[in-house]
Structure 1
Amino acid sequence: MRALPVRVDAVLVQALIAAALSFAHLHDLALAAGQDGWKALAYPVSVDLLLVAAWRRLRSGDAIAAGWCWFLVALTASLGANVATAGLLDLDDVPDWLRILVAGWPAVAFLGGTLLAHGAPKPNEARATASEPPSTITGPEPTPAEAAPLSATAEIPPAEPESALPAPAPPALVALARKVADDHRARTGTPIDTSTLRARLGIPMPLAEAIATQLP
């Protein structure tokens, strides 16, 4: 198999170098302040985790003020350790106020992490709550007696307009139809039907039916 080319991300390498240096500075400061063993190793992790939690809260858009507050607190702790270990502070004789700050940092980090984790609902929970339909109060269903007037009204067909009704046949047209009917009876011996009457007179079927009712 052909080996895949390995791409080196300069930003990732820079982030790893910065994280390693910050870890070392925080570890040395905690160690100089009397926190030895695993406790000195836990301080850099605590500061970096608080930075990441505050940055994620800023990216999510919830509780921006709290996110900036704890982000600045963690950044100050990280920068302070970097500056303090750069030769400006005698690590062999750490002042008492710095020992107090280092010893009180776990409580500060715990408070900040708790507030950032539980200070606002998660985006998925907020969307689920917003998507829930509002509760509605429904009354009792109508009885058949109450619903009957609506159904009866709906079943009434619309009244046929007067313009659709056939108009009375003119007397002259009725007289002509009688002659046509008599001629048809004389030739065929049977009464004329409505279709033949309509075809002989050239009139609409409704008018032919009205005239046929008046013929003997």
Structure 2
Amino acid sequence: MNRSIRVDAVLVQAGIAGALSFAHLHDLAAASGQDGWKAWAYPVSVDLLLVASWRRLRTEGPSRLAWSWFLIALSASLGANVATAGFFDLQHPSSWLRFGIAGWPALAYLGGTLLAHTSPDPTSDEPTEPLPTHESAPSDAASARRLIEAPGREEPAPATASVPAALVDHARKLADDHQARTGSAIDADTLRARLGVPAQLANAIVAQLD
């Protein structure tokens, strides 16, 4: 029950404020030379712009367009309240006040058109490309290091355990023969030339011969 009383009080307060602002806008327009139905059209125009901008804020979220026109309409309403409170001589309104009243319909039409027919920025809903994660850094660094250490070589570096046993046995025979002829252990470059294998594979075989 307390909630219903509070809501009713808010609605009554809003109705009073709206009625006073509506009357003040009418009086200001009438004092500026807009008589008859034209004076009543001004408060309707201001209220419609307020409603349109507030609806845009509620349905599509905050935006500079909606906030700008909401503040313009609110300033027009508050300005009419102040102007009719004795701060201006409405018996002899100034030229700039007449100019503002005369230009309001075009300004309100522009604001209403922009609010009704301008779509939100579509780029805000477009998915962005994911940034590279830190896991890719080690592989990239390792690839760059291999290119620097072995330029022009594209063959992979085989692990020692991946060397076939038959190839190791054949290499051991070549190493024994080289030892017998030269008196020194065979090196990787010589073994590579004798076997016709890549340098990485020759290094792996030499490591198994030791």
Secondary structure at the counterpart of residue 11 of structure 2:
helix
Letter in 1 for 2:34: Q
Question: In 2, Cα distance between the equivalents of 1:98 and 1:119?
Answer: 30
Question: In 2, Cα distance between the equivalents of 1:100 and 1:109?
Answer: 14
Question: In 2, Cα distance between the equivalents of 1:110 and 1:49?
Answer: 10
Letter in 2 for 1:109: A
Which residue does the alignment assign to 1:30? 29
The C-alpha deviation readout for 1:66-109, integer Å capped at 9, x for no partner, is 00110111011111000000010111000000000000000000
Which residue does the alignment assign to 1:78? 77
The C-alpha deviation readout for 1:9-50, integer Å capped at 9, x for no partner, is 111111111110000100000000000000000000100110
More helix as a share of residues: 2
Aligned: 1:98 with 2:97: yes
Contact 1:62 / 1:120 at 8 angstroms: preserved in 2? no
Q: Structure 2 regions of 5+ residues with no counterpart? A: 121-210
TM-score norm. by structure 1 comes to 0.52
The C-alpha deviation readout for 1:112-166, integer Å capped at 9, x for no partner, is 0000001116xxxxxxxxxxxxxxxxxxxxxxxxxxxxxxxxxxxxxxxxxxxxx
Q: Structure 1 regions of 5+ residues with no counterpart? A: 1-5, 122-216
Question: In 1, Cα distance between the equivalents of 2:31 and 2:54?
Answer: 29
Which residue does the alignment assign to 2:43? 44
Contact 1:63 / 1:120 at 8 angstroms: preserved in 2? no
Secondary structure at the counterpart of residue 9 of structure 1:
helix
Q: Which has the larger radius of gyration?
A: 1
Question: In 1, Cα distance between the equivalents of 2:22 and 2:64?
Answer: 27
Question: In 1, Cα distance between the equivalents of 2:106 and 2:79?
Answer: 18
